[in-house]
Amino acid sequence: METWQITLWICAGYLLVTLVMGVLPGLRVSKSIAGYVAADRSMSFLVMYFVLGASIFSSFAFLGGPGWAYSRGAAAYYIIAYGVIGMVPFYFFGPRARRLGEKLGFVTQAELLAHRYESRFLSVLLAILSVAVFIPYLTLQMKGAGLILSTITDGRVSLEVGAAVTYGVVVIYVLTSGVLGVGWTNTFQGLFMMVIAWFLGLYLPYKLYGGVGDMFTQIAASDHADMLIAPGLTRGGEPWAWAGFSSAVLISGIGFSMWPHLFMKSYAAVSDRALRLTVVMYPTFQLFLVPILLIGFSGVIAYPGVEPDSIVPFLLTQVDLSPILIGLVCAGTLAASMSSGDSILHSAASIGVCDGLAKIAPGVFKDDRLERLVIRILVVVLAAIAYYFAVGTEVSLVALLLGAYGGVAQIFPLMFAAFYWPRATGAGALAGLLTGIAVNTLFLVRPDLSPIPGMHEGIWGLAANVPVFVAVSLMTRPQATERVRTYVEA
């Protein structure tokens, strides 16, 4: 049996195990919306830790991260930087959201904000924004899964087929078990991909250079020494401006805990303690990124000229690994993709129905069974849309994620004010959010208009969002004291 066939069989075995682990929880979760979307609010610390960790570290980390280290050097350090600070707001927002969800029945981020600001339109707007930023994020995961299977089999399995099979498994267990299936599989996938990352991150520098220290010594003495100088390089090979690096860290840190699929997990936590302990322990998940970046750096001198997003599967075809180890590494990469993709897909469909369709036509969704059915239909629809973009676009994996962060970061001022600024009003929230999205989109489409070259467009969005939010709130009637007190004293 050839190497690629052994590798493919191991990946198939991994997909089968994941499918079983994802489907089994559906046998015990309740058939209500709270069961499908919030796991009946029963997730323990261990499951929460891996759900939050594995939901964030994805194809972006396993393929895009090494790709940046390989092509842009120190620029990849921004990933570690924002990951360290990004979960801090969740320590304060998460327990408040969990208690409000338990008290008022919330299962999504937009439900909380729409209730606080008394605005059905805000709910629909947040649903549209959430689904819009989820599509590129989900596309990223599918591209990663298809890319690893295509490269490792020398094109015998195309990117299209690899993405379709992998996410066919994801769709099945998301349809069957909802967020509890996501939780179980994320725990398995998180453990699996951490072991694989550390093995590969230490093995490749040793195999190609004699060790991690020797690898960096050789890079520093080569023509690529400028890659080790912060803030690294641009995709074109020019020095990356500090404005670009720092704004990428800042906007990613602000948007990190605002991702709806991550925020929604606060409703699934069994207690405030489990949620806070998860946040406190979360930085340990950053250790996973150290070997990830070492993988990318290991290819700088040894294999120049490789497409950055393909460096991981390319290295696997060049170094002397047994077919079984190659298969396990590929399965680990699939785990990284699927552990984010399942959570994104589930959350996007839940938000689209609970915060979008159900608010547009409130009289239709009176039955939990109907609402759950429509969520499942939307799971399939969104998977098909993301698949279309995954097989038909050539955008960098990290570029996809960075572009999405600017939009989701515009939610942060609304969430902060919901809990900590009693004077915030619905009109102010809407005006600020719409302004922020508009400005962010403008600079995303026309980066040449930026007053500071390289500055992330999300920063300009927030710079417009916050003053408009504050000004309009102060000019409009305050909200009812009792409603505001529910949030401020949550």
Q: How confident is the model at residue 399 (pLDDT cuts 50, 70, 90)?
A: low
- Render pLDDT for 297-326 as a digit per residue (tens, 0 to 9): 999 999 998 888 788 888 887 887 788 888
Whether residue 93 is predicted with pLDDT greater than 70 in this model: the reply is yes
The Cα–Cα gap between 88 and 468 comes to 25
Whether residue 471 is predicted with pLDDT greater than 90 in this model: the reply is yes
Mean pLDDT of 338-343: 81
For position 438, what pLDDT does the model report? 94
- Render pLDDT for 230-278 as a digit per residue (tens, 0 to 9): 898 887 778 888 988 999 899 988 988 888 888 888 888 888 898 899 8
Bond into 231 cis (ω within 30): yes
| Among the listed residues 42, 55, 37, 40, the one whose alpha carbon sits nearest the alpha carbon of residue 178 | 37
Q: How confident is the model at residue 80 (pLDDT cuts 50, 70, 90)?
A: confident
Mean pLDDT of 473-489: 90
Q: Does 319 or 117 have the greater pLDDT score? A: 117
Q: Which of 75-89, 219-233, 250-264, 345-359 has the highest mean pLDDT?
A: 219-233
3-state SS track over 45-72? HHHHHHHHHHHHCCHHHHHHHHHHHHHH
- Report the largest interatomic distance among the alpha carbons of the chain, rounded to a whole angstrom: 73
For position 228, what pLDDT does the model report? 93
For position 108, what pLDDT does the model report? 87
Mean pLDDT of 367-387: 87
For position 37, what pLDDT does the model report? 67
* CB-CB contact of 278 with 269 (8 Å): yes
The Cα–Cα gap between 443 and 450 comes to 7
For position 56, what pLDDT does the model report? 63
Percentage of the chain surpassing pLDDT 90?
30
For position 465, what pLDDT does the model report? 97
| Among the listed residues 56, 62, 63, the one whose alpha carbon sits nearest the alpha carbon of residue 82 | 56
User: Which residues neighbour 48 within 8 Å (Cβ) at sequence distance 6 or greater?
Assistant: 265, 268, 269, 274, 275, 278
- Render pLDDT for 151-191 as a digit per residue (tens, 0 to 9): 888 888 898 999 999 999 999 988 888 777 777 787 777 77
Q: Which CATH architecture has domain 3-397?
A: Up-down Bundle (1.20)
Q: How confident is the model at residue 344 (pLDDT cuts 50, 70, 90)?
A: confident
For position 413, what pLDDT does the model report? 96
Whether residue 46 is predicted with pLDDT greater than 60 in this model: the reply is yes
* Ranges 14-18, 227-231, 321-325, 363-367: which has the least confidence: 363-367
Residue 230 CB coordination number (10 Å): 12
Q: How confident is the model at residue 343 (pLDDT cuts 50, 70, 90)?
A: confident
Half-sphere exposure of 76 (CA within 13 A, CB side): 28
Mean pLDDT of 324-342: 82
For position 274, what pLDDT does the model report? 86
Mean pLDDT of 435-463: 90
Whether residue 207 is predicted with pLDDT greater than 70 in this model: the reply is yes
Whether this model's pTM surpasses 0.85? no
Whether residue 455 is predicted with pLDDT greater than 80 in this model: the reply is yes
Q: How confident is the model at residue 402 (pLDDT cuts 50, 70, 90)?
A: low
Q: How confident is the model at residue 213 (pLDDT cuts 50, 70, 90)?
A: very high
3-state SS track over the chain? CCHHHHHHHHHHHHHHHHHHHHHHHHHCCCCCHHHHHHHHHCECHHHHHHHHHHHHCCHHHHHHHHHHHHHHHHHHHHHHHHHHHHCHHHHHHHHHHHHHHHHHCCCCHHHHHHHHCCCHHHHHHHHHHHHHHHHHHHHHHHHHHHHHHHHHCCCCCCHHHHHHHHHHHHHHHHHHHCHHHHHHHHHHHHHHHHHHHHHHHHHHHHHHHCCHHHHHHHHHCCCCHHHHCCCCECCCCCECCHHHHHHHHHHHHHHHCCCHHHHHHHHHECCHHHHHHHHHHHHHHHHHHHHHHHHHHCHHHHCCCCCHHHHHHHHHHHCCCCHHHHHHHHHHHHHHHHHHHHHHHHHHHHHHHHHHHHHHCCCCCCCHHHHHHHHHHHHHHHHHHHHHHHHHCCCCHHHHHHHHHHHHHHHHHHHHHHHHCCCCCHHHHHHHHHHHHHHHHHHHHCHHHCCCCCCCHHHHHHHHHHHHHHHHHHHCCCCCHHHHHHHHCC
Q: Does 165 or 21 have the greater pLDDT score? A: 165
Distance of CA 437 to the CA centre of its chain: 19
Mean pLDDT of 103-118: 90
